[in-house]
């Protein structure tokens, strides 16, 4: 197989994905008008993603982010008894007592 054919086969899926995204964005632009995209912070998961934001709303500024403000639910979940594991069977502790 020629090098040009191999290159075309490798690049074709990316070109099609780009064309699909451009067509989708063009259709959105025609129906909704100009969009304002920005970085948005999700407080539940502690992650950011790019999405459309409202006209008067500001995007997320990574410079203002303090990682100490994020409350990880896995770290903050504690057992009822500090010496007891979360998945321990309560009947097992009665047998040992």
- DSSP, collapsed to helix, strand or coil, labels residue 59 as coil
Return the closest-CA partner of residue 52 out of 42, 38, 62: 38
Q: Which helix H or strand E contains 48, and what residues bound it?
A: strand 47-52
Query: pTM surpassing 0.75?
Result: no
| Mean pLDDT per 10-residue interval, the chain, length 97 residues | 93 98 92 80 78 72 64 59 54 55
Kindly tell me the burial class for residue 70, based on how many C-beta atoms sit within 10 Å of its own C-beta (0-12, 13-18, 19 or more): middle
Residue 93 pLDDT: 54
């Amino acid at each position: 197989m020629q090098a040009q054919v191999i290159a075309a086969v490798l690049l074709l899926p990316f070109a099609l994905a780009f064309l699909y995204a451009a067509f989708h964005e063009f259709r959105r632009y025609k129906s909704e008008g100009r969009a304002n995209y920005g970085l948005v912070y999700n407080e539940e998961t502690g992650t950011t993603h790019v999405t459309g934001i409202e006209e008067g709303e500001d995007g997320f500024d990574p410079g203002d982010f303090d990682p100490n403000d994020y409350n990880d639910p896995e770290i903050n979940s504690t057992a009822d008894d500090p010496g007891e594991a979360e998945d321990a069977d309560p009947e097992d502790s009665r047998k040992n007592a």
